[in-house]
Structure 1
């Protein structure tokens, strides 16, 4: 019966959408009706409202719905969605203030003399508008009203003209900032949690280990990472569009002729180009640049974009009038002033004012911020007074945002209902049962999304399909794809939904503003080539995941909050780089170790000498330990060829067997609760028992297909694999032990001057103790002890102070005995200072030379962050897909 109600849910949703019922109500409405019918049928025919639900019942579904409401509206952690109204406001403001129109007209004149130049200008402006507005409807309408007549007037092919405009208008779905990417990031954040649990369960079932290594975990994503990930694929798509138009124009000059306009390339036109082009580019730089540089979050960048768009609208709406640019000039001067204050004085914090320079910096910053606020309010007042632009933009922003959020809520209800009837399990079983593994599953999902694009809007696809399929795809260890890559691939695929007939929204928008001479069939013909180009871009990004993953990885590893080199996720790639470094510079590293071993350390404390000697020995051992990793890797790779097919077959059989075990457990519950006093009838119990017997036979048959020598095969390969893991752990432990004494000795010697400065303070304490009451003396000694502890390697000095404090805290405090112990601390300080100062002069420079030679290899894990060049290499290494399925 669950299948019947699942089918009913899909039919009701399809009927509601097909009949033109608003999407925002079609999704939750179909869910509510199906849940109600299922609960009522269960109560009437089985005496239990939960009878026809695969999971829980109407009460659990209602609880899930409330949780989803709270998640969307009230969870502070889910604040990514706040960026949606900000970017919508930015886009509508730029469109209403006719800045988009200026771009189209100016770029058309600039590119006109090039073959296909008008089409290329449309793509160029479409990309700029995508990076500033991200609103498909507004972009297509604007370009349709302005560029289409010009293209037709200059004898452009009608299919080419309409296809170019419609396709360029959809760039806003993949080029950041994009509402689609924000929604996908939000949906994928939840999917990653589910995928992580699925992968953990799979690891435990496959290996018997309770905890999975953290470097096998599913990597999450955020809206900022989605923006970074989509940036290069968006540029690839723009490049494909431009190349196609240029190639078409060269092969068919009459269908896309060059347009030569007299008086175009003049000084006045050059000024116009600068004024028209620079502000949108500056806004793009501020919005995307702040995210890429890690200066601002997506929400903060959205606020920057909204304010920037309002300032730009403030001067555009008064174009040609006196003082039109005054607010914008004031805003630019204020931003430059803030930049100068920060560059000269560093960070400005009103709570940390200590010097006159801090006060001057604060005053200058307040002046700059005040000027910026004046410019913002001035621009806002203009947009409110001129053509009532601000009010209209805010109303449209509220409408669009409300639509998005209502669809999100409706989709959450629909997804909960889909899961309640076992739909998610059906999809999971179907996908995992496909031959070909992850890539077969992925291609089917992409095909389904592509077909759904013919009928559904991008929001419905993103919020209905993604939560169901994304956890399954992300949990698969055979491809181990990142959530960013999956999100961008889905985003590129969803983008085609705006172009695919019969319900491509870009086609509807263009049809509404195109002249009667443009036939709908010509529009359909025109978009076919661009749909093909989008699929080509999808294939390129699929084969080269580095296009998506590199920028997010690069940004993460170069940011101020970059993960330390000991982060487990970085180790595999770091070790590949270090192995290459050992191969190229191994002799130099060994020479540095030999030179360091020759340093005279005979006058250092015995424990320090021992630690350094052992450290140098471990450093020598690091190179063969790294070679052991490489050899173990090669052995695993050699064994994997024959092992992988058997492993894949056995794991698939075990997966299917576990699925049957889950069904058997559910049916056993029915059997236990059937008969008198139960919630199920005796007939239902008998049917469940018969089904259990049939499933048990299937289960045993599946397990019987597992090769008889599987345990031996698995054990043999596990030993080889464990040898590799052991080699990696041994190497990491070796280099940590090799480098730690170097850091400790450097810290000890660097504190020589600090230790020297402590002597007068301890002498003063010695004089104070007899004059203080015991409690005050204890506090003074404790303070001095903490002060000594600020220097590295001063435990001997602190021992006397500890004894003195102990004496003064006893029942019978004795100042003379305490002073005697303080004298011991002074003696220890003098002895410590003798070797410390000598070593600081003789050993420290040589030790620093050794450190410089090994810091990026043997000492890499102990650094605070990766060096820039290595961070870039590691980012590139992490950007590919790494198959880890043999570990499961």
Structure 2
């Protein structure tokens, strides 16, 4: 600002404006800059926090599945579980509910969701325990790691120098005996230094590195299993909910399916094909209708052949009818459970299955901004 005031403003401002007046004008801006530097100097993470906060709470925020957010997202979930011991009670409550007349085909998915949710919690706790062990062991491991990596860097540099010397020695051979001797002496000196550097590495370094790597792998594997099980818990129940939510649309196509059978019995194959094409497009938008759509598509393909076999087409059509009425019966039995399933899914999405949400909740976004703005030491992974 002083330079700007002195060199630029002085050149464009009228002569009546004194240089000292220009300095007075920029003093407030300089003061603001100094204040900003003091704030940033006392709290360096603020430099990362503000843009991260703006990004995570904005309209174009990344989804919760963004790989860069996973470590802090795990931390957020674990802290919530630790702070509120009753935060997982909904899993036990849901497991204890009576699903006596619930269709078996979906009961398996519900059971799988509950089992995966319980495993997810176990894996998250295992990951945090492994992380604490890594932090504890790192106090002794990191100084050794830094020393070894430093020695390895020096070894690589000296080996590069050796290669250069080999070329120079080859080029000077038979031309300059004195130069050749100096180069050879230098080579011997580097070889001696290399020997010393290699001896600096602890004899049991490979074992030390392997043991610590195993600790890191336990943490990494536990985190991976936590995320996988948390995703499965949400997705399994989501599949059932999507089917049940399509119940009304599924029931509404019954007459259209029956009309296809009447058209086939009348021998109007071309009309039947057109009707099936229209119907399969409609069924494709209904989650519960996948089997019915598949069977009707077989009917359409058979009727579209040069010499169609009506008996084969009717067999596929009857299979479509059986699938339809079986699904309709299951939907009627299960529709009363939909609110409980939705409530369970919402609870999963609020905590252990946060990754499955389309958008990051504001309170989670603020936590992630704080967490990701700090420095995380990843040197132990190299």
Range into which the TM-score falls when normalised by the shorter chain: 0.7 to 0.9
Cα shift readout 1:682-722 (whole Å, capped 9, x = no counterpart): 66995997465554443333222112222222222222222
2:232 paired residue number: 737
The corresponding residue for 1:587 is 86
Q: How big is the shift at 1:660?
A: 3.0
Question: What is the correspondence of 1:788-827 to structure 2 with a 5 Å cutoff?
Answer: 788-810=283-305, 812-827=307-322
> What's 1:490 paired with?
none
Q: Hey, what's the Cα distance between the residues in 1 that align with 2:182 and 2:66?
A: 50
Structure 2: stretches of 5+ with no match in the other structure: none
Q: Is the 8 A contact 2:116 2:233 kept in 1?
A: yes
Deviation of 1:736 after TM superposition, in Å, equals: 1.6
Secondary structure of 2:377 counterpart:
coil
* Aligned residue number for residue 265 of structure 1: none
* 1:771 aligned residue: 268
Q: Retained in 2: the 8 A contact 1:589–1:854?
A: no
What is the DSSP-based 3-state SS (H/G/I as helix, E as strand, rest coil) of the residue aligned with 1:582?
helix
1:874 correspondence with 2:368: yes
Residue 159 of structure 2 is matched in structure 1 by 661
Contact (CA 8 Å) 1:143, 1:165: kept in 2 or not?
no
Report the counterpart of residue 45 of structure 2 in structure 1: 546
CA distance in 2, matches of 1:879, 1:659: 35
**Matches of 1:641 and 1:870 in 2, distance apart?**
31
Q: Is the contact made by 2:102 and 2:333 (CA closer than 8 Å) also made in structure 1? A: no
- 1:682 and 1:879, CA in 2 relative to 1: closer, same or farther beyond 3 A? farther
**1:405-431 CA distances to partner (integer Å, 9 max, x unpaired)?**
xxxxxxxxxxxxxxxxxxxxxxxxxxx
CA distance in 1 between counterparts of 2:230 and 2:175 reads 68
Written as runs of structure 1 = structure 2, the 5 A alignment for 1:480-559 is: 534=34, 537-538=36-37, 540-559=39-58
On the 8 A contact 1:140/1:165 being kept in 2, the answer is: no
- The match for 2:221 among 726, 744, 747 is 726
Q: Is the 8 A contact 2:276 2:296 kept in 1?
A: yes
CA distance in 2, matches of 1:738, 1:721: 26
How does 1:105-144 map onto structure 2 within 5 Å?
Answer: 140-141=9-10
Q: How far 1:542 moved relative to its partner?
A: 4.2
Partners of 1:557 and 1:875 within 8 A in 2: yes
Whole-Å separation in 1 of the counterparts to 2:46 and 2:12? 29
Is the 8 Å Cα contact of residues 618 and 734 (structure 1) preserved in structure 2?
yes
The reply to whether residue 751 of structure 1 matches residue 246 of structure 2 is yes
In the aligned structure 2, how far is the partner of 1:147 from the partner of 1:626?
71
Give the 3-state SS of the residue equivalent to 1:812 in structure 2: coil
SS at match of 1:881: coil
Gaps of 5+ in 1: 1-125, 127-134, 153-157, 172-236, 242-533
- 1:863 is matched with which residue? 357
Distance change (3 Å), C-alpha of 1:167 and 1:750: same
Partner of 1:641: 139
Please state whether the residue corresponding to 1:566 is helix, strand or coil: coil
* Residues 5 and 23, structure 2, Cα contact 8 Å, conserved in 1: no
SS of the residue aligned with 2:253? helix
In the alignment, is residue 708 of structure 1 matched against residue 234 of structure 2? no
For the structure 1 residues 822 and 166, does the alpha-carbon distance in structure 2 shift closer, same or farther, using more than 3 Å as the test?
Answer: same
* Alpha-carbon distance change, 537 to 779 in structure 1, aligned in 2, over 3 angstroms: same
How far did 1:583 drift? 1.4
Partners of 1:593 and 1:547 in 2: how far apart?
A: 38
Kindly state the Cα deviation for residue 783 of structure 1 after the two structures are TM-superposed.
5.0
- The 2-side partners of 1:147 and 1:742 are apart by 78
Q: Does the CA contact (< 8 Å) of 1:759 and 1:826 recur in 2?
A: no
The CA distance in 2 between the partners of 1:561 and 1:864, in whole Å, is: 12
2:193 match: 698
Q: State yes or no: 1:562 paired with 2:61.
A: yes
2:111 maps to 613
In 1: Cα distance, 2:142 partner to 2:183 partner:
38
Is the Cα–Cα contact under 8 Å of residues 616 and 738 in structure 1 kept in the other structure?
yes
Q: Is the 8 A contact 1:541 1:547 kept in 2?
A: yes
Summarize the alignment of residues 247-266 of structure 1 with structure 2, pairs less than 5 Å apart. Answer: none
Displacement of 1:883 after TM fit? 1.1
Q: Distance in 2 between matches of 1:755 and 1:707?
A: 70
Q: Tell me how far apart the structure 2 counterparts of residues 693 and 797 of structure 1 sit (CA, whole Å).
A: 82
Label 1:772 to 1:657 Cα distance change in 2 as closer, same or farther (>3 A).
same
Q: 1:777 and 1:668 mapped to 2: Cα distance?
A: 85
- Match of 1:794, SS state, is helix
CA RMSD of aligned residues (A): 3.6
TM-score (norm 2): 0.83
Displacement, 1:779?
A: 6.4
CA shift for structure 1 position 163: 5.4
The answer for the alignment partner of 1:849 in structure 2 is 343
Matches within 5 A, 1:133-532: 140-141=9-10, 164-165=24-25, 238=32
- Does the CA contact (< 8 Å) of 1:800 and 1:821 recur in 2? yes
Shift of 1:609: 1.1
